[in-house]
A and B are shown apart, each in its own frame.
Chain A
């Protein structure tokens, strides 16, 4: 009994509350953390002071709004821009429908995309090209209605389609297979729309900017994934010939830098395949995909190896053949466990597309380089680099966040 009394007499541990308590717990709790905090604050002070002074006094940001279109689409003919809007419409409809049908993560991310578009739609400022110089000014517009319905018609249509498709998708859930089919078909359709045919055809050498970066990245991601899974399965195969050929391929590709593969695609392919000239952009797409597939294969192999033998044996025991057991039993588990690695590979691929600049394509990085070399924008290197770094960063960061959400949604590591 005495002991019980003792326990009751012990005071509960004090949990500090409020902002002061939070500060004490997170910044000053053992003595050395207080020192660390001071050092960190000093560091932040100098970094921010330097950055902000530069950004507001020395930097001339005019180069960004003046070249916004160039960043977005590069040298794509200005009178053909409607085609890019058509592609965006296709994607918006598909995205809206998917968000309505599947809800969950897709819906959350569609809302993010939609809100960004909406902000661009209603922001009451407009970039105006000055008549006397290459400079632009950003002007405030009172007449928002005019702005939206006149100069932002295309964007308005896009947002409207996105929202409309979303509500349509919510009503009609049996659209699922059609939407999936739509996504699969969207890529060739978009390529066709962008390229066109006949007199107005836009050669791929005119594709550029973020548009080209996205095309290269999306193609690479979409094709390298199944290819990587296929290579991984080949490497795990019991047939020695197939196993060794795929191992040889994977290890060779992983052993050399991407730039050598791109270079091979650019310089050596015409020597090896002289029958016809293959489009430069297409060659780079294939090179990036083949490179990425080898890494993807290794990631997938990691997942395959983590699947216990019992799963294979159980699949065989219930009479599934090889394809069935892989499709329904092994791969779903293996891929789920390596989602972070796969998305990491996607992010790497997205960043790696900047290397096509070295081969001579005008992707986002290439556009930045060409703007810098323009004497009009002399000395505006750092501003341009920071701007495109922000673009790359937003895409990569969004991908890594999405991967974390998918992981949480699938409950990886919980089962």
Chain B
């Protein structure tokens, strides 16, 4: 034994450095990095040469030039005389808008079909399964174009379809009633502040009363109970207090804080209310229906991942179906569901780059327009990439943080 270890020690001193794995590892990595940098350098040099031969550069000052093109849907004021930078900003906002609304719709639809997929009702279960299979097995691009076509086949603006005297649909847009602030809005906001303060005070008062009452038991270190009671107090006093004061404020404000503005049909067009373009709506439908099919599967597998024994045990101790779901199944299913759900949200945001198929001016489409107009492929392309990367990386960083937080609680 002694002899063996002795020879090993001798060997390790005698190994020439080109056969020493420690040295080799470092050497290999250095060579690898050198290769990577060399490749990047060659590509970069090519790019510079190519740009020079075409009289271009990487400077970003062109962003201050006039854009000269119109944007169909814009959340902010935008005219074709604005700068490239402004138009790019409009594109970013449009991407964010369609992604956020899409995420909301997709979640609602996905939850609905995911739960319906697990229904005890044979018909409901199979309708949900059919929905999921159809919409996740057909390319998104095709779906978006399909919805856009369907939208385009609706009647023209002067023949708009009217629903419930409130919603107007035609081949170019859809109009919903909107809420408009009135002069009474600011005083109502005052009431809201008051409501919030009262609600917080009520929680403190209840907490104090509870603390007085159970001061002895607190000393034994039963903190958990204390927090449970505070959260219960918040639920049963703060929320009602806030709502009551807010409602009272609504009636006591000099004017109703909001008025409902209905779209109206005037001669050839629909005016008033809130307008969504056909491009936006068909992109939104495409994105949310496609993603909802995946979300439904995520929800279904998440709920099924909670073992059957948990449910049976809950039934055995006498919990109702609702209680089983709320107290036993969901708390275990949600941590399983959240990570794949976030990646679906990210997919939706990235897939919104197919907006061009429906003629919606998102980040990618506007970027492409700028590229061709200004002839600045590389800088604009870099801007597009950086935008998407920021979106994805921040979300996945938040995701990782959430994941570690959940797992910390578990153990």
Contact = CB atoms under 8 A, between A and B. Distances in A.
Contacts of B142: 354, 365, 385, 388-389, 392
Interface string A11-40: 000000000000000110110010011001
B122 A26 contact: yes
A260 B122 contact: no
Contacts, number: 139
Interface in B115-133: 119-124, 127, 133
B149 A274 contact: no
A255 B149 contact: no
A82 interface: no
Contact of A36 (B36, B121, B145, B393): B121
Nearest to B368: A263
A271 B33 contact: no
Q: Binding site of A, secondary structure by majority: helix, strand, loop or mixed?
A: helix
Contact of A239 (B25, B350, B396): B25
The size class of the interface chain A forms with chain B is 35 or more
Contact of A27 (B122, B145, B368): B122
- B30, B127, B145 pick with most chain A CB within 10 angstroms: B145
A37 B388 contact: no
Nearest to A394: B137
A393 B29 contact: no
Nearest to B45: A272
B146 A256 contact: no
Contact of B123 (A40, A239, A240, A264): A40
Given A40-B127, A273-B46, A254 B392 contact: yes
B313 interface: no
B141 A365 contact: yes
Contact of A33 (B121, B388, B393): B121
29 contacts: A26-B120, A36-B124, A37-B123, A40-B124, A40-B127, A239-B25, A245-B36, A255-B389, A256-B388, A257-B353, A259-B353, A259-B354, A260-B388, A263-B381, A267-B377, A271-B377, A272-B43, A272-B46, A273-B46, A351-B137, A351-B138, A354-B141, A381-B149, A382-B150, A382-B153, A385-B142, A388-B142, A392-B137, A397-B137
Given A36-B119, A37-B124, A397-B137, 17 more contacts: A36-B121, A40-B123, A241-B30, A251-B396, A255-B388, A255-B389, A255-B392, A255-B396, A256-B392, A257-B364, A260-B385, A263-B381, A274-B50, A358-B357, A382-B149, A382-B150, A397-B133
Interface of A: 26-27, 29-30, 33, 36-37, 40-41, 43-44, 239-242, 245, 251-252, 254-260, 263-264, 267-268, 271-274, 347, 351-352, 354-355, 357-358, 365, 381-382, 385, 388-389, 392-393, 396-397, 400
